[in-house]
Amino acid sequence: MATWLSRFNMFQLVSLFWAGLLVSVPFIVLADRVETKDGSILYGKILGTLDGNLSFETTYSSQVNIPLKELVSLSSSDPISVRTETNETLSGQFIPLPKAQLNIRNQNQVNELKFENIQHIWPPTATDPLVIEAEAYELELKMKWKSSIGFDLVGSSGNTDSIGAGFRMDSTYSNIFTELDLFLSYNTQTTNGKTDTDETKGGAEYDSIFRDQLAWYLRSDFEHDPVEQINLRSTLALGLKYNWIENLDYQVSTRFGSAVRYEDSTIDQVKEKIDPAFDLGLEYTHTLMKSLFLESELTLLPKVDNLSDYLFNHDTALIFPVIEDNTWHIRSGLSGTFDSIPKDDSEKMDMKYYFRVVYDFN
């Protein structure tokens, strides 16, 4: 009896051993394996490649991106598809042969490929990366609307009683090559019962990239400000814009063109004027930190026949997102116009500080 019980216990132990082995083997065998030049070895699942990087989902962490040129070996129990730098596409089974190259068996032959000569790798369950790139490019070509509306409200009481209000609407219709910007704003302020700001501005600008970072542009704007004795001030400009720097943290672009300045004053003695001018501009954006951005736009419009007679417009602001998706944010800045030769006894500088709550929508 004791012998029989011993055999039974041994049978149970052996059965449990093989059952545990069968359960664990699939996780070992079926897991894809990656080894890099620094000696790291990862187990998980091959997701595909994008921009020269292998996307790999590890069994113990999240997705990682590994440059193909840093791979020493790559293996999988599943079939795989590979595209070389010469656009040759191969599909087959991994063969774990010497390192520093990828070996695929198909049609009874083994194809030996160096990792630096591989363009794309993807499993049969994934979409061909070229199809993904084509769909992404098609999406980038699609024109899309993006708009925002902001409201200003300021006031003070005491020795000086003042209240001011304003709004600004912006809309952009663009893709990766062209962009149409539209804006309309209004600001008013009353101090001790007297209106000292009553300004309406609007404009449109169209940009179209035709070579690398170089674009041509056409823009027009207008201003109506009876307090500053301006019935209508408008500009029509045509020129070139160049994007000097464009990355995730900051962008810098400049423009140069020819323009026509038109001005009609509310002063009866001052006649309307039409003058040719130069159009110079600078646009700058900078991500200072995760939740703080800086934007600045400067425009200089000197007359062609008298460079000392110019208009200088500027708007510089800090932007604070209110919620994570950035649909609501606060814009606090300084904007204004400097007229080097003002009419009558008007001030040269017309400047204002603003604190604006902005909502973005599509």
**Domain residues of the chain, as ranges?**
31-135, 143-361
Contact status, residue 255 vs residue 286, Cβ threshold 8 Å:
no
- Cα distances (angstroms) measured from residue 21 to each of 14, 58, 308: 11, 22, 87
Instruction: Output the pLDDT for position 14.
Output: 47
Q: Is 212 left (phi over 0), alpha (psi -120 to 50) or beta?
A: left
Strands 89-94 and 118-122: unpaired
Lowest-pLDDT range, 15-24, 195-204, 254-263? 15-24
Instruction: Output the pLDDT for position 12.
Output: 55
Instruction: Output the pLDDT for position 331.
Output: 95
Closest CA to 223 of 189, 190, 194, 186: 186
- Residue 195 clears pLDDT 50, i.e. is over it: yes
| 13 pLDDT tier (thresholds 50, 70, 90) | low
Instruction: Output the pLDDT for position 98.
Output: 61
**Chain centre to alpha carbon of residue 350:** 33
pTM of the model: 0.74
Residue-wise pLDDT tens digits, 266-288: 887 777 899 999 999 999 999 99
Architecture of domain 143-361: Beta Barrel (2.40)
Q: Give whichever of 78-87, 191-200, 249-258 has the largest mean pLDDT.
A: 249-258
Instruction: Output the pLDDT for position 196.
Output: 83
- Residue 225 clears pLDDT 70, i.e. is over it: yes
Give the alpha-carbon dihedral of 204, 210, 211, 214, to 10 degrees. -10
Q: What is the CATH number of domain 31-135?
A: 2.30.30.100
Residue-wise pLDDT tens digits, 46-73: 888 877 888 888 877 678 889 888 888 8
